[in-house]
């Protein structure tokens, strides 16, 4: 079967490129689609198209920009089935998760349409004849480098506020999962935004990504991905002297005290590491558990993991495949390391053949008795692997919680208000949840990391601030 090539989308038009990239269906290991690998020439076209569109877009009244963003939301929901199926096929995420992700992407456009309508500067007098006005000015052309784990959601959370505040955009989707970004660009155009408001330049990180982040025509970079590439992006931003927002993942703990409600905690903790096969920036990949309830909680989790339905993403299992054979092998390697650093409680094996075919499946896994010095405690595995460490008392819980270079999300489970408040104060983390983990997408909640989890905040009304600079005007009359 031959696959049509999905070209770049620049200035409202499809742009062919000679170099191609295969997109693989991780549930089957088979070719799903073919897209292109943009280089400096296509990147330059895209940045020019965005810059031309931005000159007019920034002058469009805020109410009108908001109206057009709401149109995008309506069109995403109109094409909900198609987008969700594409997202499911290219990422291997269970269909119902892909449907939720699609809905959340629509919500980002609604949310920022509303938020930008009350996003005012200030005005004050500095003396009887001196009026000061501050206004929010767009950066210009914003670059968006997107990973493969939540292609639509992560794109929505930076694209919607960027467009709302008057920027125009160039998007470099992940080479593994570029299809929904290309489809979204068509919807943005259909919604009535100008040609060039959203350009998509698919391709590899080292080619398309590097060319985009080196282009002097961009004024801001949003990046979500690995710490390693985050550093490269930060250097590129420094060379251009432009701001960047970096969301670089985590090693986020669920911290469970002896007085916690385990009926509530156990299923949430399981979901926090199994969602998208643990390939989530905010995955709850560490479990810190007070020693007296360790056996009880680990037993409950083992039972939940044993009942997890694993399968092809379109069949909507609880757990789908990992994104690639590379990622699968990386995860299996960590399981091996962890098995010698502590004990393998369950899972840890690759699944293939039969209904798993050539897909990239790994069993849900628990590694127990892992000390804070261990590699599997410190490093982001990005797979369905939960690492368990017992602790004694609140001081040690805080010490262990803060003992990695990451600091993105933490969950605290306790019925003691004093313990809860102390943990909220002392755990270093971009977000802290008490008796919860995550908040169904969390569109309203500012999100981003401390330490090597990155810098800058996305989501929530705060998310608008990253896409503007303040201009102060002073008029004396």
> Mind telling me the catalytic residues?
172, 247, 281, 380
Q: Write down the least CB distance from residue 288 to ligand NAI, Å.
A: 20
Task: Using the minimum distance from each CB to ligand NAI, give the nearer residue, 195 or 329.
Answer: 329
Among residues 324, 289, 260, which one has the least CA distance to residue 24?
Answer: 324
Residue 229 within binding range of ligand NAI, rule CB under 6 A: yes
CA 283, 288, 292, 298: dihedral to nearest 10 degrees? 30
Residue 452 within binding range of ligand NAI, rule CB under 6 A: no
Task: Using the minimum distance from each CB to ligand NAI, give the nearer residue, 107 or 251.
Answer: 251
Residue 175 within binding range of ligand NAI, rule CB under 6 A: yes
Segment lying near ligand NAI (by CB under 6 A), choices 68-76, 116-124, 205-213, 255-263: 205-213
With CB under 6 A as the rule, give the number of residues binding ligand NAI: 25
Residue 209 within binding range of ligand NAI, rule CB under 6 A: yes
Bridge partners of 5, per DSSP, are 34
User: What part of residues 275-314 is at the interface with ligand NAI (CB under 6 A)?
Assistant: 281
- Identified binder of ligand NAI from the candidate list 32, 43, 115, 146, rule CB under 6 A: 146
Residue 469 within binding range of ligand NAI, rule CB under 6 A: no
DSSP-derived secondary structure letter, 418: H
For the residues of 171-195, what is the DSSP string, one character each? Answer: EE--TT--HHHHHHHHHHHHTTPPT
- C-alpha separations of 75 from 48, 180, 388 in Å: 27, 13, 44
Task: Using the minimum distance from each CB to ligand NAI, give the nearer residue, 248 or 366.
Answer: 248
- Identified binder of ligand NAI from the candidate list 11, 26, 147, 438, rule CB under 6 A: 147
Whose tokens are 């269906």? That residue is: 25
- C-alpha separations of 164 from 115, 117, 160, 294 in Å: 9, 9, 6, 48
Name the packing angle between helices 62-78 and 95-117 (round to 10°).
170
- The contact mask relative to ligand NAI for 243-262 (x = CB under 6 A, - = no) is ----xxx-------------
- With vertex at residue 388, the alpha carbon angle to CA 100 and CA 277, rounded to the nearest 5 degrees, is 25
Of the chain, the end-to-end C-alpha distance in Å amounts to: 73
- Identified binder of ligand NAI from the candidate list 73, 149, 153, 419, rule CB under 6 A: 149
- Quote the CA–CA distance of 110 and 321 in Å, as a whole number: 32
Residue 22 within binding range of ligand NAI, rule CB under 6 A: no
Residues forming the site for ligand NAI (CB under 6 A): 145-149, 172, 174-175, 204-206, 209-210, 213, 224-226, 229, 232, 247-249, 281, 380, 382
């Amino acid at each position: 079967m031959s696959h049509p090539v999905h070209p770049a989308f620049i200035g409202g038009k499809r742009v062919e490129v000679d170099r191609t990239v295969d997109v693989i269906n991780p549930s089957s290991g088979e070719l799903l689609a073919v897209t292109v690998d943009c280089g400096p020439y296509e990147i330059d076209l895209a940045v020019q198209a965005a810059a031309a569109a931005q000159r007019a877009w920034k002058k469009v009244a805020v109410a009108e920009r908001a109206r057009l963003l709401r149109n995008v939301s309506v069109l995403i929901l109109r094409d909900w089935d198609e987008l969700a199926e594409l997202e499911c096929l290219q990422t291997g995420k269970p269909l119902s998760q892909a449907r939720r992700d699609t809905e959340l992407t629509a919500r980002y456009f609604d949310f920022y349409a509303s938020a930008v309508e009350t996003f005012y500067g200030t005005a004050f007098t500095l003396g009887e004849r001196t009026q000061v006005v501050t206004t929010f000015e767009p950066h210009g052309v914003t670059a968006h480098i997107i990973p493969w784990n939540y292609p639509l959601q992560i794109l929505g959370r930076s694209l919607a506020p960027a467009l709302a505040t008057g920027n125009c955009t160039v998007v470099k989707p992940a080479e593994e999962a570029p299809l929904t970004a290309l489809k979204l660009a068509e919807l943005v155009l259909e919604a009535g935004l100008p040609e060039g408001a959203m350009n998509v330049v698919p391709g590899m990180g080292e080619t398309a990504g590097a060319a985009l982040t080196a282009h002097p025509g961009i004024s801001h970079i949003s990046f979500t991905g690995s710490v390693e590439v985050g550093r490269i992006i930060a250097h590129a931003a420094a060379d251009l002297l432009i701001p960047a927002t970096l969301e670089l993942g985590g090693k986020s703990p669920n911290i469970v005290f002896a007085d916690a409600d385990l009926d509530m905690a156990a299923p949430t903790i399981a979901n926090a590491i199994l969602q998208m096969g643990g390939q989530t920036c905010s995955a709850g990949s560490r479990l810190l558990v007070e020693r007296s309830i360790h056996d009880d909680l680990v037993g409950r989790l083992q039972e939940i993991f044993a009942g997890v339905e694993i399968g092809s993403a379109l069949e909507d299992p609880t757990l789908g495949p990992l994104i690639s054979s590379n990622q699968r092998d990386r995860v299996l390697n960590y399981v091996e390391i962890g098995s010698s650093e502590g004990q393998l409680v369950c899972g840890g094996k690759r699944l293939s053949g039969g209904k798993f075919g050539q897909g990239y499946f790994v069993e849900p896994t628990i590694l127990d008795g892992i000390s804070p010095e261990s590699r599997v405690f410190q490093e982001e595995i990005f797979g369905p692997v939960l690492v368990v460490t017992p602790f004694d008392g609140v001081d040690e819980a805080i010490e262990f919680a803060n003992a990695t270079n990451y600091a993105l999300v933490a969950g605290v489970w306790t019925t003691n208000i004093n313990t809860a408040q102390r943990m909220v104060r002392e755990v270093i983390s971009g977000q802290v949840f008490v008796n919860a983990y995550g908040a169904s997408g969390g569109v309203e909640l500012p999100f981003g990391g401390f330490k090597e989890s990155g810098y800058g905040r996305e989501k929530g009304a705060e998310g608008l601030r990253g896409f503007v600079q303040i201009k102060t005007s002073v008029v004396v009359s």
